[in-house]
A = this chain, B = another copy of it.
Amino acid sequence: MQLSPTMQKYILHWGEMGTRWGVNRTVAQIHALLYLANRPLNAEDICETLGVARSNVSNSLKELQSWGLIRVQHVLGDRRDHFVALQDVWEIFRLITEERKRRELDPTLSVLRECAIEAESDPLIEAATRVKMDKVLEFLELLLSGYDDFKHLPPGVVLKLLKMGSKLGQLAAMFGNDEEQK
């Protein structure tokens, strides 16, 4: 399986981006390849196309599955596992966001809470420092609860919100402190 220069460029870049977003380059490149492919690919296809060792492909596929970004799809007449990537961009975004929250922000929230509690009884920590710890904690809690509310919105609604742009700020001013308007 050959890649055109444009596809190579795309996949290489996706790989670079992936390292910034929590997975290694090879994992991200495999994800890109499976996303762009219009049919299920097996591990050997991937090895050949990307020039990566079979075992590395195997481990990377396992990681992508743990993120829920790809799944196994068997092909009639071929006993090898084939893989397909999620094709809906919104869903991909949702999954990555959710998974990163779970792997990173949730543990951070725990640590920040523990530290806030411990700091209450730690005479070595100045009051001003304690306040700052509390502010970071409140900020993260607010962000996460806001995210929790938003994550269930259908893409179409999110789309509308994004397109409303700064008009949203005006609406918040009008409605933010009122009971529901129906």
Contact = CB atoms under 8 A, between A and B. Distances in A.
A161 B150 CA distance: 10
Given A104-B20, A139-B93, A149 B166 contact: yes
Interface of A: 2, 4-7, 9-10, 13, 17, 20, 22, 35-38, 87, 89-90, 93, 104, 108, 111-112, 114-115, 118-119, 122, 124-126, 128-129, 132-133, 135-136, 139, 142-143, 145-146, 148-150, 152-153, 157, 159-173, 175-177, 180
A124 B4 contact: yes
B164 A176 contact: yes
A168 B162 contact: no
A6 B122 contact: yes
Given A159-B142, A164-B175, A176-B160, A108 B6 contact: no
